[in-house]
Amino acid sequence: MLVLALTAVFALVVLVVARSPAAIRETVDDAGGWAPVAYVLVVALLTCAFFPFPVMAVAGGLLFGVAAGTALSTAGEAIGAVTAFLIARYVARAGAEDLAGQRLGRLRTFVARRGFVAVLYARIIPGVPRHLANYLFGITRVTLAAYALATVIGVVPRAYAYTALGGTLGDLTSPQSVIAVGVLVAMALLGLFILRREGRSGAALSG
């Protein structure tokens, strides 16, 4: 219900309050300093609720521009990912283990072997259910510091790419849009390279 409500609010803003990126940014500017804080909190909550990150990052670019949108969407995603990690580790471990199912043994083996790198791979390899992985990592032995750092490093390129697409929504042929698409393609190719090199190790999360 929270996801549906927030999606409806965003759609209402786009369709009713303003019909152009510039007008939407002007509306956000009028909201003052609370707008970025509210956006980060919403992104964090939606991350815990499995809402697609690309939609949130595009919205960040539309609302705040590329530079600020990238920073804010990265912060929101990272906070949400860490929150999910902590929920699984200290609050709802049994539920997280149920979500993991048969993947749990493979995941623990993969994390035991790679630790920080395992988390980073989960942010890069295509096809990994990243929001589910946030909870699953909470029931492994990876440290919170390693998890948080790898998450931020892995999130920044995607955050920039999707935010840039949102920030240049009126001109998808702009240099920033072209760079954004290039970053997404490069991330996908890097993920496929890692997956091929690691063989079935990457299947610990995607399988």
**Stronger pLDDT, 23 or 47, i.e. the higher one:** 47
* pLDDT number for residue 131: 86
* pLDDT number for residue 172: 67
Q: For the segment 60-107, what is each residue's pLDDT rounded down to a tens digit?
A: 888 888 899 999 999 999 999 999 999 988 887 676 666 656 666 666
Full residue range of the structural domain in which residue 179 is found: 2-206
Secondary structure (H, E, C), 83-122: HHHHHHHHHCHHHHHHHHCCHHHHHHHHHHHHCHHHHHHH
Give the total number of structural domains in the chain.
Answer: 1
Q: Is 127 exposed, middle or buried (0-12, 13-18, 19+ CB in 10 A)?
A: middle
**Per-position DSSP letters for 146-182, written without gaps between them:** HHHHHHHHHHHHHHHHHHHHHHTTT-TTSHHHHHHHH
17 — pLDDT class (breaks 50, 70, 90):
very low
SS3 content of the chain, % helix, strand, coil (to 5): 85, 0, 15
**Stronger pLDDT, 18 or 159, i.e. the higher one:** 159
pTM tops 0.75, yes or no: yes
Average pLDDT, the chain: 79
Alpha carbon distance 93, 89 (integer Å): 6
Alpha carbon distance 9, 7 (integer Å): 5
* 104: its two tokens: 């749990």
* 102: its two tokens: 């048969």
Alpha carbon distance 198, 65 (integer Å): 37
Q: For the segment 153-199, what is each residue's pLDDT rounded down to a tens digit?
A: 999 999 999 999 887 765 667 788 888 889 988 988 888 887 777 66
**Stronger pLDDT, 152 or 127, i.e. the higher one:** 152
- Given its phi and psi angles, is residue 75 left (phi above 0), alpha (psi -120 to 50 degrees) or beta? alpha
